[in-house]
Amino acid sequence: MLEIEIDGKKVKVPDGGTVMDAANKAGTYIPHFCYHKKLSIAASCRMCLVEVEKVPKPLPACATPVTNGMKVFTHSEKSVKAQKGVMEFLLINHPLDCPICDQGGECQLQDLAVGYGGSASRYAEEKRVVVNKNLGPLISTDMTRCIHCTRCVRFGQEIAGIMELGVANRGERSEIMTFVDRTVDSELSGNAIDLCPVGALTSKPFRFSARTWEMSRRRSISPHDSLGSNLVVQIKHDRVKRVLPLENESLNECWLSDKDRFSYEALNSEDRLTRPMVKQGGQWIETDWQTALEYAAKALKGVIGEHGAAAIGALVSPHTTLEEQYLSQVLIRGLGSDNVDFRLRQSDFSADETRVGIPSLGMPVAEINELDRVLVIGSFLRKDHPLLAQRLRQAAKRGCQINLIGHSADDQLMKLQANLAVAPSLLVGELAALAVAIAEQKNLAVDASIAALASEVSAEIKAVATSLISGESRAVFIGNAVVQHPAFASVWFIAQTIADLTEARLGFFGEAAGSVGGYAAKAIPQTGLNAAAMLQSSLKAYLLVGVEPALDFADSVAAKAALEKAETVVALTAFRSAVDAVADVMLPIAPFAETSGTFVNCEGSAQSFHAVVKPQGETRPAWKVLRVLGNILELDGFAFESSEAVRDEALSGGLASALSNRIGSVTLAKGRTNNGVERIADVPIYFADPLVRRASSLQKTRDARAPGMRVNASMIQRLGLEAGGRARVSANGVMAELNVELDAGVPDNCVRIAAGHPQTQALGPMFGNLAVERI
Amino acid sequence: MSDKAYLLTGLNGDKTWGLADYIKRGGYEALKKILREQITPDAIIAELKKSALRGRGGAGFPTGLKWSFMPRQFPGAKYVCCNSDEGEPGTFKDRDLLRFNPHIVIEGMIIAGYAMGCERGYNYIHGEIFEIYERFEAALAEAREAGLLGKNILGSNFSFELFAHHGYGAYICGEETALLESIEGKKGQPRFKPPFPASYGLYGKPTTINNTETFASVPYIILNGGEAFLNLGKPNNGGTKLFSVSGHVERPGNYEVPLGTPFPELLEMAGGVRGGRKLKAVIPGGSSAPVLPASIIMDSTLDYDCIAKAGSMLGSGAVIVMDESTCMVKALERLSFFYHEESCGQCTPCREGTGWLYRVIHRIEHGQGRQEDIDLLDSVSENIMGRTICALGDAAAMPVKSFIKHFRDEFQYHIDNKRCLVPLELQREGSKIYVG
């Protein structure tokens, strides 16, 4: 530890600390622009120049290492003179157009200019004008305002993992730009807006729609991925205008993925259902709540009366809150059925038989950064979990060896020890081989049933084994593609074996904001039918909660067929188009911003939030709708006064003790030898849930472009295709026509066709064989 | 040329730059002596310290001390770099040194590699003198052929490889850390120091960077001893130095004279002021050094200490001579344009300030000066100086401050009368180009 005196205040900082660190510790503010605690030091804005005893020149606090006994004067005449000098330079070419600048009121330059700027400019020459750039649909530019702090550049290089922005040209003509007219396509790009200390990079969707001081700020939790990012939702006139990160060092740090940040646009979408509707004679008719609820109750009761309680079932979106999931299952069970599930994209449910507890990450999110060796199985990491991937990226930078085994070797923008792509039918065999290789290298025994399944141990698998048996802190993570895999239970069991052999922690990334909550809320069948079985056995009535049937299921064709055949479909939905093709009654429910509730994130933290705006139109929070429906159906246990009461009851058994990633013995599924063409289905980041599908700006990004069919070069040859051409893909007699895209990361015998998109929905199951022919 | 010259001497003949000729002049004897007598790196550095050799690139940092900062025991790669990115206006000494005597630089660098435990060196050559780069490559090929570079030099167990690297003409790449960035293939921008190159240099490895002429001085010191080198010059200012004399003199060119030579002697060697006109001012150390009026410079000797005492810097030894036909406002306008043009744009005071300075001076020169402009220039320069990442900010500010300090009346006259104090006819006379 080194001792330093800042403005007479003594502080101790660890060796290698800077004057800025010491000042932060002492609670002294030193003005700065280019310095950011999460980014590397540039020392280029010079705003943080301070006087240091015995040093003739003022030194930049951000880059000056502390020496023992150093005395720093942050507000001395010399310091302030230097800071004012720098401020003058920053302002001479700045347009000073605060009245028309979106950053006005939350601008670091504006704030500091009040303290350090002159009241009049001594600069009488022509000011610089910089041409604006098109960075894509999310980031708006006013480059004349740029002060060249390079935070956006360093963010790309260091956090997002890709340098999409750089400084071109020199001197006064330096400009921040992308490489020759490219756009900024990172899934974390919106953070550059937060980082920009001036109004050079602002939010395009938010542009000119409100002033920061006109909005109230309320906390919320992101309803998308399993991280549960903390949000600040900004509101004006009872409408959500913008979403910003709420700093939470243990989860999202100071970042947000673009999905979390920009999906709020869907809240104000035209597609919102704002009045209850009932289908009569094939026509949708608006009605009042009482009528609609009584209609729904009567329909459900009618089916039970005629076909028995087992003929009804509830399908609940994994993006719904704990409370919504809990009341859904209470309602269904109250009606006498056990058919309830939230795991809509899962196809193998045999793990339920020997699963010990609720699968979760198995460790605090923040500990990801400290891992030394990681195996990730079946994850489209960067797009499935943008901020968990960011943490792994930081870990990789620290020297963590990250091994990926999945269905596509996508570029994760981080240093990887291995990035292996295997066909879905080969996943079990390859992982078994990995277990065998590890056991061999560690001189341990491996379960004979696993050894029997193992493929030949390849050099790559051997290298992964070697990597995983070293290091101090290890983890094996199971991604979404494994949970969706037809041999999920087998993969889980082998992953557990690998974790045991390497003394690693085992964890699930989790698909959605409610993936842990669904288990906690018991929105899974005990004796009844799971999501897939409910569709296969064609129930007579379905209750849909927040579901978009055409896009949310493992097999969209089966879902459509089952729902169309049903006598009654009662849908609680925020969006009309999500269910209007299959439902008989639509009850408008509030999306996350308009309801209170709880999301249990991947690490098992239950994060509750309040509604930040009033529900639109006659929309009601889903927990209230379910409660009233329960009351109308005269069921017990629906006397809740608040969502907190629902939460407390749902979690009354304790959450932490219920978490477990262990699985008992499993009858291992040998991967079928498969000579056909296998489908690999990712769920594209901006098609993953009903909300983000309706976020208009996100839908204009590159990640949201219509999916094609991605194949490697040898498959193109084998199938007689042409990259850039069209292909006809068929499965179970249904066809889709898609563009052929060359992707070296797709394994042999496979085509990668995204799920969750209207264009590919007709193809049905996410896994299985397809026929492909050239058009 | 002084009789003490050793850098540019014996260069009469056909292919004097070549290896054969260099060896005839006693070249590579210093290297052979080191390998033969197994002189230790410590002894070499001690000799350098004794010689009072100071960096010839501009800052004048004691070379022996710099070499001693290298963590010789550090395992792994270490580098020695030669800064031949001679971009300072008025400086053209390294160009001639590499053109006429490249092997002396190569020998100096090999010895540096030996003394600091480096196995690899780079010579970064200014991009606008491409033929010099080619010349140096040719000399490197000769040296490799002769076993003077590469594995086990001259049968010893010392290996050293040297590469030439040419820049693309950016002045900023002469700043040592920008030079390293440029060799690494990045945009030439200075790094913030600390860490200094001796601990975090090229590719993050310990690195020492010296000027071309500095390396060229090393063989003499090894052969004749630090004492002899010191005695060439004066205390604390060892050796001879190349001075690039340009401007209003009869015979502009490079002159190698001992440090401590009185300025009038150098002026006389260069043939005196052109056309017999009166000397007005001299920039003694390249365009970033403060200007000195005739009265001060004529009483000075050419060494680091005396020039510093006179209020300027010996810098790179680029002596820019200006006679009475020079309009000081116009001269400063040109200098300020250069720094405005060459600022890398990384840090605020330099990026914004150099353009401001140029524009104000440009206005004054063009008859649009305002009364407050002179104080403004002084204050803007003050705000740049000492506030930037590298010395380019200081280099841009110092000429402005010194021109105003010594020639304020000319600036005032410009503002008041919207024309030069120096009559135009005289300016035209002074800027005539002499042929032959």
Burial class from Cβ neighbours inside 10 Å (0-12, 13-18, 19+) for residue A334 reads middle
Pick from B67, B85, B157, B165: nearest CA to B121: B165
In this structure, are residues A484 and A347 in contact, taking their beta carbons and an 8 Å threshold?
yes
- Report how far residue B262's alpha carbon sits from residue B61's, in angstroms, rounded to the nearest whole number: 22
- Report how far residue A572's alpha carbon sits from residue A589's, in angstroms, rounded to the nearest whole number: 6
- Report how far residue A400's alpha carbon sits from residue A392's, in angstroms, rounded to the nearest whole number: 8
Q: Is A530 on the interface with B (CB under 8 A)?
A: no
Residue A317: the pLDDT is 98
Mean pLDDT of A179-196: 95
- Asked if A170 lies within 8 A of B343 by C-beta distance, the reply is yes
β-sheet with A9-13: strand ranges across: A9-13, A2-6, A70-73, A49-52, A59-60
Residue of A nearest to B358 (CA): A125
Residues 6+ apart with CB under 8 A from A234: A210, A212, A215, A216, A217, A218, A240, A241, A242, A243, A244
β-bridge pairing A585-588 and A277-280: antiparallel
β-sheet with A568-573: strand ranges across: A283-286, A277-280, A585-588, A568-573, A541-545, A312-316, A340-341
Pick from B130, B168, B117, B348: nearest CA to A44: B348
Pick from A394, A403, A397, A401: nearest CA to A369: A394
Q: How far from B47 is each of B43, B63, B115, B139, B350, CA to CA, in Å? A: 6, 11, 11, 27, 39
Shortest CA gap A245–chain B (Å): 29
Give the model confidence (pLDDT) of A345-396 as tens digits: 999 999 999 999 999 999 999 999 999 999 999 999 999 999 999 999 999 9
Q: Is B340 on the interface with A (CB under 8 A)?
A: yes
Residue B181: the pLDDT is 96
The alpha carbon dihedral of A745, A747, A751, A756 has a sign of: negative
Residue A643 has pLDDT above 70, yes or no: yes
The tokens 């347009």 sit on which residue?
A: A95
- Asked if B351 lies within 8 A of A148 by C-beta distance, the reply is yes
Residue B436: the pLDDT is 47
- Report how far residue B337's alpha carbon sits from residue B389's, in angstroms, rounded to the nearest whole number: 20
- Asked if B387 lies within 8 A of A46 by C-beta distance, the reply is yes
> End-to-end CA distance of chain B, in Å?
21
State pTM to two decimals: 0.94
Residue of A nearest to B350 (CA): A171
The alpha carbon dihedral of B228, B231, B236, B242 has a sign of: negative
> End-to-end CA distance of chain A, in Å?
70
Q: Is A148 on the interface with B (CB under 8 A)?
A: yes
Residue of A nearest to B388 (CA): A46
Lowest mean per-residue pLDDT among A195-204, B90-99, B230-239:
B230-239
Give the model confidence (pLDDT) of A691-738 as tens digits: 999 999 999 999 999 999 999 999 999 999 999 999 999 988 888 999
Give the model confidence (pLDDT) of A577-631 as tens digits: 999 999 999 999 999 999 999 999 999 999 999 999 999 999 999 999 999 999 9
Please list every residue in chain B whose beta carbon sits closer than 8 Å to the beta carbon of residue A172. 340, 343, 345, 351-352, 354-355
Among B170, B345, B360, beta carbon nearest to A172:
B345
Confidence bin at A456 (pLDDT 50/70/90) = very high
Mean pLDDT of B306-331: 95
The alpha carbon dihedral of A589, A595, A601, A606 has a sign of: negative
Lowest mean per-residue pLDDT among A162-166, A591-595, A606-610, A673-677:
A673-677
| DSSP conformation letters of A489-543 | HHHHHHHHHHHHHHT-EEEE--SSTTHHHHHHTT-S-SSS--HHHHHHTT-SEEE
Among A46, A122, A125, beta carbon nearest to B347:
A46
Q: How far from A357 is each of A484, A522, A657, A661, B373, CA to CA, in Å? A: 18, 11, 9, 7, 78
Pick from B413, B395, B391: nearest CA to B330: B413
Please list every residue in chain A whose beta carbon sits closer than 8 Å to the beta carbon of residue B172. 170
Residue of B nearest to A49 (CA): B387
In this structure, are residues A539 and A566 in contact, taking their beta carbons and an 8 Å threshold?
yes
Q: Residues of chain B with pLDDT > 90: what percent?
A: 87
Residue B434: the pLDDT is 62
- Asked if A58 lies within 8 A of B340 by C-beta distance, the reply is no
Q: Is A85 on the interface with B (CB under 8 A)?
A: yes
Q: Number of residue pairs across A and B with CB atoms under 8 Å?
A: 91
- Asked if A169 lies within 8 A of B351 by C-beta distance, the reply is no
Residue A513: the pLDDT is 97
| DSSP conformation letters of B323-388 | ETT--HHHHHHHHHHHHHHH--S-SHHHHHHHHHHHHHHHHHHTT---TTHHHHHHHHHHHHTT-S
Q: Is A90 on the interface with B (CB under 8 A)?
A: yes
Token readout for A309 is 């309680």
Residue A315 has pLDDT above 80, yes or no: yes
Q: Is A173 on the interface with B (CB under 8 A)?
A: yes
The tokens 């199951």 sit on which residue?
A: A765
Residue B152 has pLDDT above 90, yes or no: yes
Residue B73: the pLDDT is 84
- Asked if B355 lies within 8 A of A171 by C-beta distance, the reply is yes
DSSP 8-state secondary structure symbol assigned to residue A605: -
Determine if the peptide bond prior to A588 is cis (ω within 30°): no
Residue A676: the pLDDT is 87
Q: Is A95 on the interface with B (CB under 8 A)?
A: no
| DSSP conformation letters of A102-132 | TTTTS-HHHHHHHHHS-SS----SPPP----
Q: Residues of chain A with pLDDT > 70: what percent?
A: 100
Residue of B nearest to A59 (CA): B387
Shortest CA gap B200–chain A (Å): 15
Residue A452 has pLDDT above 60, yes or no: yes
What residues does B339 pair with on adjacent strands?
none
Q: Which of residues 34-53 of B touch A (CB under 8 A)?
A: none
